[in-house]
Every structure is written in C-alpha cells, then in structure tokens.
Amino acid sequence: MPYESGPMTEAMYYVLLSLLRPNHGYQLMNEIEKVSKGRIKMGPGTLYGVLTRLLKDKLIIVVNDDGRRKTYSITEDGRKALEIEYERLISMVNDGKIIMEDRDE
Amino acid sequence: MSKSVKKFMPGDLWDFGKNESWFSDMALKGLHLQSIGSWFAVFEKGQPQKTKYRIEVLEESPSQEQLELYRECGWDLVANKQMFYVFSSPEELNAPELQTDPMEQGFTFKMIDRQLKKNMIAISLLFLSFLLSQFHLSFQDEPYLFLIKQRAFTLVAIIVPYIYIFIESIRGYLAVKKTRGSLLMGIPINHKRKWKLSYIISVIIHVYLIGLIALLFITPFYAVMRRETYTYKTVEDIPVISIYDIEKGPVYDYSHSIDYDWSLVSPVQYIIYEDGYIEGQMQGDFSGAYFKTSIQTRYYELALRGISEGLLNDLIHRYYRHYEEKLIEIENERFDRLYAASGEGNKLIFASFDNKVIYIKYSGKADLDYIISLIEKKYNL
C-alpha cells in the first residue's frame, strides 16, 4: 500500500531519510541532525511519535529487537513514499525558481 | 522517608498546558510530582525547585531505550496514568523540548481523540436511556405528592452527577479536538497556561457533587430507619386530632394505626387511621344503638414552605376524586387555605397553614365547623 496521506511533515521526511540505513532510536536523533547538517534538532518525543506512526503505516519495520533496543529500517513502501515526496519537493523548488527570475528582471 | 502530599487533581490529563503549569507551580513550592491516581496527584515534599513538566501520549508503554534517550535529553519519567506519561526536567538544565513538531504531536492526539469520542458516545447513550427510563415521571399529575417522597430526592441526586459526567465528556472531547486542531495547524502547546481559576471552580463542583452523592447514599437508609408503623404509640402523642377529641362519649371497639415517614423535603409525615363505635339514640328495634365513627388523617410538615400550596392541590386531586359533594373554599384567616366537602357520610377537610398540610376524612356525627375549630385549637391557630 503506497503512502497517500499527502505532504509529509519535516520530522517524518527526515526520519525516513535517516532510516535508509537501519538504525536504532538512540542514534537516530544524532543521525537526523547529521543528515540535516545540524538544521534539525528533533525532540525525543517527536522522534518516537513519528516512529510509532510510521510503524503503523508500515513505512518502516523493526529489523532487530534484542529486548533492550529496537533497530528500525525503511520498507519498500517507505522508500516509495520517500521518493514521491522527494519528487514533490523538487517540483516545488523548481516551481519556486520564478522568484529568482523575478529578481533577475 | 520524605513526606508525601496528596492533592485533588481536577480535570483530566489531556489538559496538557494547565496540568504542566500546575505541576511546575507546585515544584516551586517544594512539592514534586510523584504519581497520579484517578482523583489525586501525589507530591513529594522537598526543596523548592524550578521544574519543567511535559505530558506525553504514548500508545505503548515506553521501552527502556526510549526512556534512556529521554533521560539523555534531560527528561525523567515521574508519573504515568493510562496512556499519559509525565516527564520532568530542572529548568536550569535547559533541556531541549520533547516535542519539536506540533503537527506530529497533533497526530499523537488521534488516539485520545478516538477514545474520548467513544467515551462520549457511550455516556450519551447511557444518559439517554436513563432519561427514557424515567420518562414516565413527566406524566406525573401529582408532582408534589411525588416530591415529598424520598425517592424523588434520590432521583435528583442521581441525575445531577449524571448530567455533570455527560457535560464533562463532551467538554473533554471538544477540548481535545481543539488542541489537536491547533497542533495540526502548527501552533505548539502553551506549557504555562493559567490553571488557578479552573482549579477552584472544579474543586467547588466536585465538593458539591461528592456532598450530593453522600446524601444520595445516606438518606435512603435514614428514611428507612425513620419510617415506622407505630403500634405502641397512641394518637395523643402525635400532633393530629384524635377521634377522642371529636367524640364526646366513650368509643368502643377502638382500633388505630399510625404510619410515619421521613424525607428531606417533608421530614414529618403521618398517615393515621382510627375507628370505633359510639353510643347513639337507641330505637325501638335496637337499630342505631351504636354508630361507626372513623377518621383518617394525612399530616405533613414541610421543609420548604413554598410547596405547601402545590401539595394541598395534589391532595385534593387525589382524595377528592369521586366524591359527590361539592368542595368549597372556606374563608378563614387562621389558615393559608382551607377547603371542605361535607356530605351525609363523610366530611373531607384540606387545610394548609405555616409549613403544615393536612387532609382529614371523617365519617361520623360531628359537624364540620366543630372539627375545624378542633384543628384551630390543636395547632394554636
């Protein structure tokens, strides 16, 4: 089932992005900060909220659970959703280029 | 061991902002949140401290790893109730917020939203079926006779908390919907919402409700305890006129019964029957040697004087029915109202004065005016 809930929140986008490489919650927060080049400092509450939601929507799965910590990974659906969102963002940015053209004139 | 302080906790945890700022204000007084029960929050006495509190909704209980991450960020789990988890952090630590994305937080509200909606529907259905089950009451054509029964008060005592729960469930649902709506629009929760006024209002409402519920439980027992059928008491002990007051000669074959009832609205209620035989003028054929005489009295003292008129009307409605003699109002300044019907056999008197209402049905030889004069004398009117 492809993701059809419209535009993603920034938090959701970056969690999916960071889970292209399997990771556990604890390190995910640092990973997100790294991936966003320090722009996003996600609160742990938000992080676990997103993880719960993504698990429910089957965009990510738990690949390893040793009882102490869970390792998450993106699913095929998740990857598709991420690609769709990426395309959407790209066209948004492209469409937004008229701002620059306006400025040039 | 340090001391614990219990404090009444109004409202539900879903009112995040208010509860968070309440906990913070308590911590500033040296009361640190320890646990949350269904009615009370428990605080541990300690040093005053500037503390931030955050309430989180978690669908599943948090894993060890999750709690560790929270702790790493400066947030410790202090209390938990159902799906609500309360975290605290000393203000000087300047810990990063737990929730950095209002929209994502809005999604976590979906569950509370759904649960409160379910609650609201269930409570509404219960309330509706309760109202329907009591629907026959709206057909009461003698409401005051019903009102003086303790049962009437019990009904009110049940309905009021019911209405409160009903309103609260709707209010809760709408409040959560609103919070969720503003989160989804990107407006974060105000962690410093004012709580004092709504706290005080809530305490007053709860004290009132608890008092009402306590009354609800106590008064039926009390009413049953007070309700009596006296067999040892004589009518002279009771503030009504007796057959002995009316009849001048001896009364033979006398029998009587006295019933007493109690309710909040009418704490003194007597139903009294007396009958016997008096000597008459003997005829040649021995008939008429003895006459039957009887009196039935219903006597009410009311806690609310305002309902005496209504009660009098209801008594007339119930006991004057099927009586062929005309009921006439008698002008008598000693009574608030006085009605009588007088026929061959029976004489009916309906009277109200002060907070008292009386209905008398007499069958015997004495005349109406005489009985009314006895009533006046009995109650010093």
Please say whether the beta carbons of B51 and B32 come within 8 A.
yes
**Separation between Cα atoms, residue B128 and residue B134, nearest integer Å:** 10
Give every CB contact of residue B335 below 8 A, 6+ residues apart in sequence: B351, B352, B353, B381
Residues in chain A within 8 Å Cβ distance of B107: 49, 53
> CB–CB of B104 and A70 under 8 A?
no
Residues in chain A within 8 Å Cβ distance of B76: none
Mean pLDDT over the full length of chain B: 87
The chain A residues in contact with chain B (CB within 8 A) are 9-12, 24-26, 29, 40-50, 52-53, 68-70
B63 touches chain A (CB under 8 A): yes
User: Which pLDDT tens digit goes with each residue over B134-151?
Assistant: 777 666 778 888 888 877
> CB–CB of A41 and B100 under 8 A?
yes
How far A104 CA sits from the closest chain B CA (Å)? Answer: 34
Give every CB contact of residue B22 below 8 A, 6+ residues apart in sequence: B195, B199
How far A99 CA sits from the closest chain B CA (Å)? Answer: 25
Token pair for B195: 């709580």
Rg of chain A taking only CA atoms, in angstroms: 16
Question: The complex's ipTM?
Answer: 0.87
In degrees to the nearest 10, what's the CA dihedral of B268, B271, B275, B280? Answer: 70
**Separation between Cα atoms, residue A11 and residue B186, nearest integer Å:** 13
B268 strand-pairing partners: B301
**Closest partner residue to A45 among B56, B68, B72, by Cβ?**
B56
Give the per-residue pLDDT at B138.
Answer: 64
Give every CB contact of residue B213 below 8 A, 6+ residues apart in sequence: B157, B161
Q: Which residue of B58, B63, B104 is the best one to mutate when testing the A interface, meaning the one whose CB has the most A CBs within 10 A?
A: B104
Measured between alpha carbons, how far apart are the two ends of chain B, in Å?
Answer: 69
Count of C-beta atoms within a 10 Å radius of residue A7 = 11
User: Which pLDDT tens digit goes with each residue over B269-290?
Assistant: 999 999 999 887 655 666 667 8
Closest residue of chain A to B73, computed from CA coordinates: A44
In degrees rounded to 5, what are phi and psi of residue B332? -155, 110
AA letter at A105: E
**Closest partner residue to B104 among A26, A29, A49, by Cβ?**
A49
Q: In what order do the strands lie in the sheet with A60-65?
A: A23-24, A70-74, A60-65
In a domain, A69, yes or no: yes
Is residue B325 predicted with pLDDT exceeding 90?
no
In a domain, A33, yes or no: yes
**Separation between Cα atoms, residue A3 and residue A16, nearest integer Å:** 12
> CB–CB of B62 and A48 under 8 A?
yes
Q: Strand, coil or helix: what is B227?
A: coil
**Separation between Cα atoms, residue B75 and residue B97, nearest integer Å:** 9
Mean pLDDT of B219-231: 77
Is residue B74 predicted with pLDDT exceeding 90?
yes
Give the residue extent of every domain in chain B.
235-378
Please say whether the beta carbons of B73 and B38 come within 8 A.
no
Looking at the 3D structure of chain A, how many domains does it have? 1
**Separation between Cα atoms, residue B204 and residue B52, nearest integer Å:** 28
In a domain, A2, yes or no: no
Domain coverage including residue A90: 10-104
Give the per-residue pLDDT at B108.
Answer: 86
Mean pLDDT of B42-53: 95
Please say whether the beta carbons of B180 and B113 come within 8 A.
yes
Token pair for B48: 């005053």
> CB–CB of B66 and A25 under 8 A?
yes
In degrees rounded to 5, what are phi and psi of residue B368? -60, -50
Where b means 16+ CB within 10 Å and e means fewer, A62-99 reads eeeeeeebbbbebbebbeebbeebeeeeeeeeeeeeee
The position carrying tokens 């889970």 is A19
Give the per-residue pLDDT at B209.
Answer: 87
- Pick from B186, B45, B5: nearest CA to B106: B186
Give the per-residue pLDDT at B139.
Answer: 65
Token pair for A70: 């869970």
B 223-282 near A (Cβ less than 8 A): none
Give every CB contact of residue A80 below 8 A, 6+ residues apart in sequence: A2, A3
Token pair for B352: 């109200």
In degrees rounded to 5, what are phi and psi of residue B271? -120, 120
Please say whether the beta carbons of B324 and B275 come within 8 A.
no
- Please report, for the domain that includes residue A57, its CATH number: 1.10.10.10
How big is the A-B interface in CB pairs under 8 Å? 75
Q: Which of A48-52, B106-110, B352-356 has the lowest average pLDDT? A: B106-110
Residues in chain B within 8 Å Cβ distance of A41: 96, 100
In chain A, % of residues over pLDDT 90: 71
Q: Which helix (H) or strand (E) holds B57?
A: strand B51-57
> CB–CB of A43 and B100 under 8 A?
yes
**Separation between Cα atoms, residue B87 and residue B39, nearest integer Å:** 19
Question: With bands split at pLDDT 50, 70 and 90, how would you rate the model's confidence at B225?
Answer: confident
In degrees rounded to 5, what are phi and psi of residue B84? -95, 130
Give the per-residue pLDDT at B313.
Answer: 92
**Separation between Cα atoms, residue B268 and residue B123, nearest integer Å:** 38
- The 8-class DSSP code of residue B73 comes to T
Token pair for B330: 């008698």
**Closest partner residue to A70 among B65, B104, B108, by Cβ?**
B65
Q: Report helix, strand and coil shares of chain A as percent, to nearest 5.
A: 55, 10, 30
B70 touches chain A (CB under 8 A): yes
Closest residue of chain B to A47, computed from CA coordinates: B99
**Separation between Cα atoms, residue A71 and residue A59, nearest integer Å:** 14
Give the per-residue pLDDT at B19.
Answer: 92
Closest residue of chain B to A41, computed from CA coordinates: B100
Give the per-residue pLDDT at A1.
Answer: 42
Is residue B67 predicted with pLDDT exceeding 60?
yes
Closest residue of chain B to A66, computed from CA coordinates: B65
> CB–CB of B100 and A52 under 8 A?
no
User: Which pLDDT tens digit goes with each residue over B243-277?
Assistant: 888 888 788 888 888 888 888 889 999 999 999 99
User: Which pLDDT tens digit goes with each residue over B35-46?
Assistant: 998 789 999 999
Is residue B33 predicted with pLDDT exceeding 80?
yes
Rounded to 10°, the helix A44-56/A25-35 angle is 100
pTM: 0.73
